[in-house]
Structure 1
């Protein structure tokens, strides 16, 4: 129960994330359950695929019923995400550099939570980007391994 409360607090109060290609966080900035390592590998593979424009690889890491929350909107399936934000997310991930400042992750049964805070910078669509980011990913362990069932990205300008 404490972990669910922590996840809710972090999801509501953490700085936001539109960044999609994290770098490795210093060990001191991580609070990671060892059992979460395979789920984290899926999150990192997702970001790598976004950054390299590999849409098939991105989609293979999502459940069919994935829920993606971003910029106040919702995409309620893998198909909907593929037809809407995926191309823009790949373009952004390819253009922006991301750095992880903090990551927490844990597993309970067949569910894993990976919560990441960071910062993105660079140039996108001719504009300078500097955003503090937060990302929540909830993964479900299935017969074929971990798949992303929920993504919530938000971001804000640094203060």
Structure 2
């Protein structure tokens, strides 16, 4: 069960094809050509949902129930959409900060992937307003906490 437009099987608006995004395989930056299926869908959250879905489908030894995590991603997406100081571009950047936090929490702050994503986001968010930067920091901390919880509950499996 997936909510708030996150997860697998969403169709690209105005077409008959399903969305196939790959933020994990692309740079974490603007202009990557990755677009969300709906006008309000956040690409980074949808990509994280896809990774969770795949992890649940591929777990053969100990099954991982990813439904609660997918529901949680829907709640995070709604929370980001409601954040007052953020415009559309800043909301996507906020979602990327959450994504980076989850990766850092699940893989460890010192992992190469976590540092790479984090460094890229620092460059992108350099011109953000102070209230937006505060939102980014809160979401990154929340993502880090959620990533640690996921890693602990799933036997320290890595998302990427």
The two structures have a TM-score, normalised by structure 2, of: 0.28
Larger fraction in helix: 2
Higher relative contact order (CA 8 A, sep 6+): 1
Larger fraction in strand: 1
The two structures have a TM-score, normalised by structure 1, of: 0.28
